[in-house]
């Protein structure tokens, strides 16, 4: 800490302040940047995206609000101290000129990147735009969970909490118009880990389908449909940092592992993001996307498919 304080006060030699604390440290930060970005991107769509966003914001604050001012102020003071001690101006003025040019370049870079940083800040610390959902026990003996609403950040956590309360759960009813890609995948993991069947009584669209397809058996009520469309980044200034084609390919691979046929998968993301493709239940059954069609009231009264009820497969 004494070294840090001495640099800040300009008490270190100009050579140390410039070559080590400014030039060398900037090279280290520059070299570490790809590693930091890779670490952040590795969690961006597989876990809670807020963690990635919060880490990115904290990294920017640390580098540009803490470290960089410390570098520049210390360098400027060391150069001024050097001139006063030696009576020479050349090296001190050159150091300050380089520092000034660095500040100008950094301010320009941050100004250009500001819209993207605002979007990252909104993800990390803003309200969840898909946070409106409920998870309740339903059915004759409370053996079903009903997920109703958007697939928000806390969807998987809410599902785990509900699974830990009350009697064992046989299946989960997913009625959702979609939400976050990451949240849909996290919900899918919870469902797959617990070996639940999945149902939809009202419909399951977009990111919800990833969770639905994770069911051990998958059923639609008579009036329910699955809806598919292309993925998109809901924050316009982050589009350049996300590969939605790659994310679609990842989910296509998951659907294939769940037994969905290739000819159906080829059509999965043909609809634009502002459109929705609703294949018929006959198409879904033929493609292996659903196990069968049920009547919602029979399922709620404990007449599960294969249990002597009238659910059809």
The answer to whether position 312 is within a domain reads no
Residue 42, domain extent? 2-125
At residue 44 the predicted structure's pLDDT band, cuts being 50, 70 and 90, is: very low
In this predicted model, what pLDDT tens digit does every residue of 255-273 receive, in sequence order?
Answer: 999 999 999 999 999 999 9
In this predicted model, what pLDDT tens digit does every residue of 148-164 receive, in sequence order?
Answer: 999 999 999 999 999 99
231 three-class SS: coil
pTM recorded for the entire structure = 0.81
Residues 70 and 146 in one domain: no
Which whole number is the average pLDDT over 63-87? Answer: 95
How many other CB atoms sit within 10 Å of the CB of residue 10?
18
The pLDDT score that the predictor gives to residue 39 is 64
Q: Would you state the structure tokens that stand for residue 232, as one six-digit string?
A: 């998109």
- Taking the alpha carbons of 138, 142, 147, 152 in that order, is the dihedral positive or negative? positive
The backbone torsions φ and ψ at residue 145, rounded to the nearest 5 degrees and listed phi first, read -105, 135
Residue 47 has pLDDT above 70, yes or no: no
Residues 52 and 169 in one domain: no
The backbone torsions φ and ψ at residue 79, rounded to the nearest 5 degrees and listed phi first, read -65, -40
How many other CB atoms sit within 10 Å of the CB of residue 225?
18
Residue 99 has pLDDT above 80, yes or no: yes
* Those residues with Cβ within 8 angstroms of residue 127's Cβ, 6 or more apart along the chain or in another chain: none
Write down which residue in 93, 125, 157 finishes a domain. 125
Residue 277: strand pairing partners: 228
Query: Could you give the C-alpha distances from 253 to 198, 256, 257, in angstroms and in order?
Result: 19, 5, 6
Give the angle subtended at the CA of 68 by the CAs of 67 and 73, to the nearest 5°: 105
Residues 174 and 292 in one domain: yes
Lowest mean pLDDT among 2-16, 135-149, 298-312: 298-312
Write down which residue in 125, 147, 178 finishes a domain. 125
Residues 195 and 290 in one domain: yes
Write down which residue in 106, 125, 144 finishes a domain. 125
- Tell me the Ramachandran region of residue 105: left when phi exceeds 0, alpha when psi lies from -120 to 50, beta otherwise: alpha
196 three-class SS: coil
Residues 113 and 163 in one domain: no
171 three-class SS: strand
Q: Would you state the structure tokens that stand for residue 116, as one six-digit string?
A: 């993207």
Please say whether the beta carbons of 212 and 226 come within 8 A. Answer: yes
* Angle of the 181-193 helix axis to the 155-163 helix axis, nearest 10: 20
Residues listed for the chain: 313
Q: Would you state the structure tokens that stand for residue 239, as one six-digit string?
A: 């589009």
Residue 273: strand pairing partners: none
Residues 79 and 106 in one domain: yes
In this predicted model, what pLDDT tens digit does every residue of 188-244 receive, in sequence order?
Answer: 999 999 999 999 999 999 999 999 999 999 999 998 999 999 999 888 888 887 889
Q: Would you state the structure tokens that stand for residue 207, as one six-digit string?
A: 């990111």
Q: Is 53 exposed, middle or buried (0-12, 13-18, 19+ CB in 10 A)?
A: buried
Residues 59 and 140 in one domain: no
Distance CA 2, CA 11 (A): 11
In this predicted model, what pLDDT tens digit does every residue of 18-37 receive, in sequence order?
Answer: 999 999 999 999 888 887 76
Please say whether the beta carbons of 158 and 133 come within 8 A. Answer: yes
* Angle of the 90-125 helix axis to the 49-61 helix axis, nearest 10: 160
Residues 139 and 288 in one domain: yes
The pLDDT score that the predictor gives to residue 306 is 59
């Amino acid at each position: 800490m004494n070294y840090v304080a001495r640099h800040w006060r300009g008490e270190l030699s100009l050579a140390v302040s410039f070559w080590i604390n400014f030039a060398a440290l900037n090279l280290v930060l520059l070299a570490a940047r790809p590693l930091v970005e890779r670490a952040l991107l590795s969690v961006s769509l597989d876990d809670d995206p807020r963690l990635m966003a919060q880490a990115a914001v904290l990294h920017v604050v640390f580098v540009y609000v803490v470290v960089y001012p410390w570098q520049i102020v210390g360098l400027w003071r060391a150069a001024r101290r050097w001139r006063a001690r030696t009576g020479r101006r050349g090296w001190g003025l050159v150091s300050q000129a380089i520092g000034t040019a660095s500040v100008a370049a950094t301010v320009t870079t941050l100004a250009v990147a500001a819209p993207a940083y605002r979007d990252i800040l909104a993800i990390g610390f803003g309200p969840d735009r898909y946070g409106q959902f409920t998870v309740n026990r339903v059915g004759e003996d409370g053996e079903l969970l009903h997920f109703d609403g958007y697939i928000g950040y806390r969807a998987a956590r809410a599902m785990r909490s509900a699974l830990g309360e009350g009697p064992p759960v046989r299946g989960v009813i997913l009625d959702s118009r979609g939400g976050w890609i990451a949240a849909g995948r996290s919900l899918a993991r919870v469902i797959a880990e617990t070996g639940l069947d999945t149902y939809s009584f009202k419909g399951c669209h977009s990111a919800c389908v990833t969770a639905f397809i994770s069911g051990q058996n998958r059923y639609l009520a008579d009036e329910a449909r699955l809806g598919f469309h292309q993925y998109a980044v809901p924050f316009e200034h982050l589009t350049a940092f996300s590969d939605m084609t790659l994310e679609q390919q990842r989910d296509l691979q998951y659907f294939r592992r769940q037994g969905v046929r290739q000819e159906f998968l080829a059509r999965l993301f043909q609809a634009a993001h502002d459109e929705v493709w609703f294949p018929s239940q006959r198409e879904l059954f033929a493609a292996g996307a659903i196990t069968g069609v049920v009547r919602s009231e029979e399922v709620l009264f404990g007449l599960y498919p294969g249990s002597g009820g009238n659910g059809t497969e």
